[in-house]
Structure 1
Amino acid sequence: MSIPKATPARLGVVEKLGYSLGDLAANLIFQTLLTFIAFFYTDVYKLAPSAAASVIFIGGIVGACFNPMMGLLADRTRTRWGKFRPWILWTSIPFGLTALLAFSTPDLGEQGKIVYALLTYILLMLVYSANNLPYSALSGVLTGNMAERNSLSAYRFTAVMVAQFIIQVLLLPLVLIAGGGDKALGFQNVMTVFAIVGTVFFLITFFTTRERVVPAPTQRSSIRQDIVDLLGNRPWVVMLVLTILVFITLALKGGTYVYYFNSYLSETHLAAFLENIGFNGFIAGLNALLASVGLTAFHWPKDAATSGFSVFNAVGIIMMIIGIGFSKPLADRFGKRDVFGAALLVSTVFMLALYFFPPESIGPVFLCQLLHGFFYGITIPLLWAMIADVADYSEWKNNRRATALLFSAMIFGLKAGLSIGGALVAALLSHYGYDASLPAQAPETANGILLSVSVWASIPFLLGVASLALYDIRKSVELQIERDLGDRRAAAQH
């Protein structure tokens, strides 16, 4: 069992904000991988789609397999700062450096580039595990109050949405601007900035948080016992499967959107849509304002695909942030499991609907993105709050706590899903005949891109909804676990 160190009923705003900045820092890199890794390898580093698929899959799976070891190591870390906070400190600088290496483009020849991409991607995945696994586990030991975890998750994933906005809306234009049109140089310059900002944010997370829920001094468990507890924990198994499925979809749809705008949607109709909604006027007005105060104009890329892609992601992210605002009150009333499943199902319907729109139907495409973003936003904080609940469920059932090991399995699921989904982007492009050197793709390629972003991306989400039928931690069980563990911890203090 666990003993809190004066566990408060509520966490302070400073601690919630400080904790959330760690996810903002990590997601500057993670969201880039989620959205642009296939595009970077095929269109910037000029790897063949089949080679890119192999790099993403092999590198990601190697990194994922490191997670259980990292979880066992983090659970057995003993420092004056706690178990998990030190890892955020130790990996703050290496994280940024490995990201910079992974998005660099040395000219090493065809085979040399593949080897370089594979090695740097594996290295980035290993450092990501060493950083993000303890960071995620930290949310389970900042407080034992489940309602407070819902609030903490809302803060955390609002920060995630900020990072997602920066990457999905601004990264491609910033890459073109920072590189003067040279995408390779642009990626390197932008990643340098991300490395510096990320390091500072990780340090803020380290200094503003405190671990309160710690294992009792009498707790003794072997690695074998921890693994036996894990395998006997059905909610954990369900969450592992759910995490893999969710991130397959996120990587598949997120990585395909840039091709969807470049190769499927009508550029003429997209340009007219941007004009009609006032986007071009907004950019012109912004430049006029900058010029009036003596600043340099903001050189937004001229092509409709880049602008449409950015606006599409922007409206989706704004709606996700609004959805996050509904997450805590809905979860407090109906329970995390039921709210997560219902919102994920509805969001999938609007993603699947993209399949029925021809290239000229720009308005309906954006409307579906708005509705998909809102309902998916409701689910975002709940996934990780549910994982923290699974750690409590394990302690409640077995009288032992192995927080990092439980979270390591979820990070494994995240990486496995990211690897499978990201590899599927490149593999499907290869299957449908995508050629980055062509000015326009063949009709069968464009249709394959449409299938990938709608039908194929919807299937894992639907399977994830079905898997929740086996998840035992309903609202009534949440309350019972919190009550029983609170009684045990109070008794242990006397």
Structure 2
Amino acid sequence: MSVSKGKAQLTTLQRICYGAGESSATLANTTIGFFFLFFMTDVIGLAPALAGAVVMIGNIWDAVTDPFVGWLSDRSHNRFGRRRVWILGSAIPLGITFALIWSSPGSALGQWATFAYYTAFYMAYIFVITSFMVPYTTLGMELTNDYDERTSLAMWRMIFNIGLSLPATVLPKILVDMFEQPKQGYFTMGWIIGAAIMLFPFLVIFAGRERPMKTDDTPFFKSFVESLKFRPFRQAVLMYIFAWLPIKLLMAVMLYYFKYYLNMARSFELAMGIMMVVATLALPFWNYLSGRLDKRRAYMVGLASFSLMIMVLLLPKTFLARLLPVIAFLIGFTVSSMHIMPVAIVPEAIDAGIAAGVPASEGIWNGVVTFVQKTSSALAIFMIGVVLDLVGYNAGAAVQTNATLVALKVLVAVVPALLTVLGIIVASGFRIGRGSQAAEKAGAR
């Protein structure tokens, strides 16, 4: 399928309104990622194993519901549009369910009852945010079929995503610390941020109406399997995974790396701040590069640059300490490409699948992407814990074993670099792009 450059269909305001929808997920998921486990163990008093099980069950439920919600949204018929009715309908429940996971069931409940309480509320939140994010993601490819304009939509999504990540790591702690009782602080924080995340979905309605698309009547499980049989889509999903997994690994391991290898725990916020700010500011550059080259080549340039920069973290700690701001700047610049390019590439593979007659509709394609992404991320985070256990990591110890320090360097540098190399290899065989002659053969399975 040849993907040509068409006339731009959306105004800048419409693109911003669409991108703003990403704010709800960023505020909610970043807050949960940094504080929810700590809240359950240190504020509520839930046993760490049970608290971890709450998160694990939620992740499994999240992965399972993604393709199903996509399949259901494909079959929604409403004057507001089949995606927008889900986006608008989930806005208020999203804020409420987010707030409820920060409530306290009271000290009278035992461990298992408390576990059931948070599992139920967390699963409710997961279903609601899935009901928002899968239709929202699908809407992006249905607002326009222009090759470069889709990259622009992805850029605006990532501007809000990366731009709000830093405030989302700072604001919750500020709100909690305003109260003498932590339970009251977390409860209030939940409702304040919950109220904020209710608002952004309403901006998405000003992004425009989705293009009319034919609803596919293929049963859910057959649609799921058929989408993965389509080779260009499998490639696009792998390109997505090999770009996002390194970022997930960095998020999970970087604090350990700063605290135990560099002995610079207080510099963690500075380095992360530089990376996030630079990653946000660099998004227009990668959008421009995609226009000059194409998405596949820009993806490969970004991942190759990242793999080189991340290996710098293997150098001696004295060198890294002196050049920390510069290194954070360069890593942030390359990480920016890994946010925008995979999100922009996936819709082209989905369009190719639809054009090739694959019996799967738009919503389930995007649901499959998030299913694979969340499943692989959960597995990666689990493996980090296994590796740290195997090498003798001692939580809170001032000095870690040499094996632990080596493992941290491998996890923060070598593994992400290898994943990006795999992404480049997959991308080298991806043949869907602007004006590509080989793209006509993309429908071959």
TMscore range, shorter length? 0.7 to 0.9
CA separation in 2, counterparts of 1:464 and 1:317? 22
Corresponding residue for residue 147 of structure 1 = 148
Deviations 1:25-76 (CA, angstroms, capped at 9, x unpaired): 1111223345555665666666666655544344212220111211110111
Q: Percent identity?
A: 22
Q: Is the 8 A contact 2:226 2:360 kept in 1?
A: no
The offset of 1:229, in angstroms, is 4.5
**Using a 3 Å threshold, how does the CA distance of structure 1 residues 183 and 377 change in structure 2: closer, same or farther?**
farther
Corresponding residue for residue 322 of structure 1 = 281
Q: Letter of the aligned partner of 2:151 in structure 1?
A: N
**Using a 3 Å threshold, how does the CA distance of structure 1 residues 452 and 379 change in structure 2: closer, same or farther?**
closer
Deviations 1:95-124 (CA, angstroms, capped at 9, x unpaired): 223323334565555545544454444333
Aligned partner (choices 247, 254, 257) of residue 254 of structure 2: 257
Corresponding residue for residue 3 of structure 2 = none
Corresponding residue for residue 211 of structure 2 = 213
Corresponding residue for residue 219 of structure 2 = 223
The offset of 1:430, in angstroms, is 4.3
Q: Is the 8 A contact 1:34 1:251 kept in 2?
A: no
**Using a 3 Å threshold, how does the CA distance of structure 1 residues 429 and 346 change in structure 2: closer, same or farther?**
same
CA separation in 2, counterparts of 1:355 and 1:46? 38
Deviations 1:79-109 (CA, angstroms, capped at 9, x unpaired): 0011101111111122223323334565555
**Using a 3 Å threshold, how does the CA distance of structure 1 residues 335 and 361 change in structure 2: closer, same or farther?**
closer
Whether 2:355 is the aligned partner of 1:354: answer no
Q: Is the 8 A contact 2:244 2:339 kept in 1?
A: no
Q: Letter of the aligned partner of 1:177 in structure 2?
A: D
Corresponding residue for residue 191 of structure 2 = 192
CA separation in 2, counterparts of 1:449 and 1:53? 21
TM-score between the two structures when normalised by the length of structure 2: 0.84
The offset of 1:231, in angstroms, is 3.1
The offset of 1:393, in angstroms, is 1.0
Q: Is the 8 A contact 1:260 1:453 kept in 2?
A: yes
DSSP 3-state at the match of 1:91: helix
**Using a 3 Å threshold, how does the CA distance of structure 1 residues 428 and 123 change in structure 2: closer, same or farther?**
farther
DSSP 3-state at the match of 1:140: helix
Whether 2:385 is the aligned partner of 1:418: answer no
**Using a 3 Å threshold, how does the CA distance of structure 1 residues 57 and 473 change in structure 2: closer, same or farther?**
farther
**Using a 3 Å threshold, how does the CA distance of structure 1 residues 340 and 154 change in structure 2: closer, same or farther?**
same
CA separation in 2, counterparts of 1:433 and 1:39? 22
CA separation in 2, counterparts of 1:397 and 1:239? 16
The offset of 1:476, in angstroms, is 2.7
Corresponding residue for residue 341 of structure 2 = 382
Corresponding residue for residue 431 of structure 2 = 472
DSSP 3-state at the match of 1:214: coil
Q: Letter of the aligned partner of 2:145 in structure 1?
A: G
Corresponding residue for residue 123 of structure 1 = 124
**Using a 3 Å threshold, how does the CA distance of structure 1 residues 336 and 435 change in structure 2: closer, same or farther?**
same
Q: How many residues align?
A: 431
CA separation in 2, counterparts of 1:20 and 1:423? 31
Q: Is the 8 A contact 1:56 1:419 kept in 2?
A: no
CA separation in 2, counterparts of 1:361 and 1:43? 34
Deviates more, 1:334-343 or 1:240-249: 240-249
DSSP 3-state at the match of 1:79: coil
TM-score between the two structures when normalised by the length of structure 1: 0.76
Deviates more, 1:328-337 or 1:443-452: 443-452
CA separation in 2, counterparts of 1:263 and 1:176? 27
**Using a 3 Å threshold, how does the CA distance of structure 1 residues 131 and 262 change in structure 2: closer, same or farther?**
same
Whether 2:292 is the aligned partner of 1:333: answer yes
Whether 2:139 is the aligned partner of 1:138: answer yes
Cα RMSD (Å) of the superposition?
3.3
Aligned partner (choices 440, 461, 465) of residue 398 of structure 2: 440
Deviates more, 1:367-376 or 1:70-79: 367-376
**Using a 3 Å threshold, how does the CA distance of structure 1 residues 366 and 173 change in structure 2: closer, same or farther?**
farther
CA separation in 2, counterparts of 1:53 and 1:373? 30
**Using a 3 Å threshold, how does the CA distance of structure 1 residues 246 and 424 change in structure 2: closer, same or farther?**
farther
